[in-house]
Amino acid sequence: MAPITTLHYLVVAAALFVLGVVGVLIRRNVVIVLMSIELILNAVNLNLVAFSRMWGNLHGQVFAIFIIVDAAAEAAVGLGILIAFFRNKETVNVDEIDLLKW
């Protein structure tokens, strides 16, 4: 088997990123859209840690820790918005969240 290089990890991260983008664009359920955003953040984290290993310093890993902190804050606020909206309209369907349409 060929040794595992940085490029292998980047390919996995790119695959996860594209899957997350597909999930954000395609799914109807808002909660699953938020979970696809978490997939995207994980792909970016994997990229950062792989590059940290490649360059031989820890800046990528510290950046990844900050991204995890940011993902926690954003998940809390996003789910709060979802709950506040659900109290109004009783739906989690992105096609029905259209109160701002003309």
Q: Which of residues 39-68 bind other proteins (CB under 8 A)?
A: 39, 42, 45-46, 49-50, 52-59, 61-62, 64-66, 68
Residue 98 binds other proteins (CB under 8 A): no
Residue 95 binds other proteins (CB under 8 A): yes
By the 8 A CB rule, do 89 and 96 touch?
yes
Nearest to residue 41, comparing CAs of 8, 78, 16, 62?
A: 16
Q: Please state the separation of Cα 59 from the chain's center in Å.
A: 21
Of 25 and 99, the one with the shorter C-beta distance to other proteins is 25
Residue 97 binds other proteins (CB under 8 A): no
